[in-house]
Amino acid sequence: MSLSFGEIAVIAITLAIIFSASRMSALGNALGKFVYSFKKASKGAGFVDAPKTLQRDSRAVEDAQLVDRKP
């Protein structure tokens, strides 16, 4: 389901009529920033990897008590 050139041209002309030139430039800037941030996020830039192994708290083992339940 691909858009042909004629359909894209009709959509572009309709948008140009509905929105003024100043709004179109602001819309283009917003769209460009969105695409840039989406590409940046999809690459994983700016994210910090979590450590592979977690340090265990030794107190949790020492403080626990074993309780035998008799049926």
pLDDT of the residue at 61 = 54
pLDDT of the residue at 39 = 86
The tally of domains found in the chain comes to 1
Instruction: Report yes or no on 50 lying in a domain.
Output: no
Domain limits at 29? 1-44
Instruction: Report yes or no on 34 lying in a domain.
Output: yes
Instruction: Report yes or no on 7 lying in a domain.
Output: yes
Instruction: Report yes or no on 17 lying in a domain.
Output: yes
Instruction: Report yes or no on 27 lying in a domain.
Output: yes
pTM score, whole prediction = 0.39
Q: How far is CA 69 from CA 36, 37, 47, 51, 60, in A?
A: 61, 58, 48, 38, 21
Q: Are 15 and 24 in contact, with CB atoms under 8 Å apart? A: yes
- Average confidence (pLDDT) per 10 residues, the chain, 71 residues: 88 83 82 89 70 60 61 63
- Tell me how far apart the terminal alpha carbons of the chain are, to the nearest angstrom: 67
pLDDT of the residue at 24 = 78
pLDDT of the residue at 5 = 92
pLDDT of the residue at 63 = 54
Q: Are 22 and 30 in contact, with CB atoms under 8 Å apart? A: no
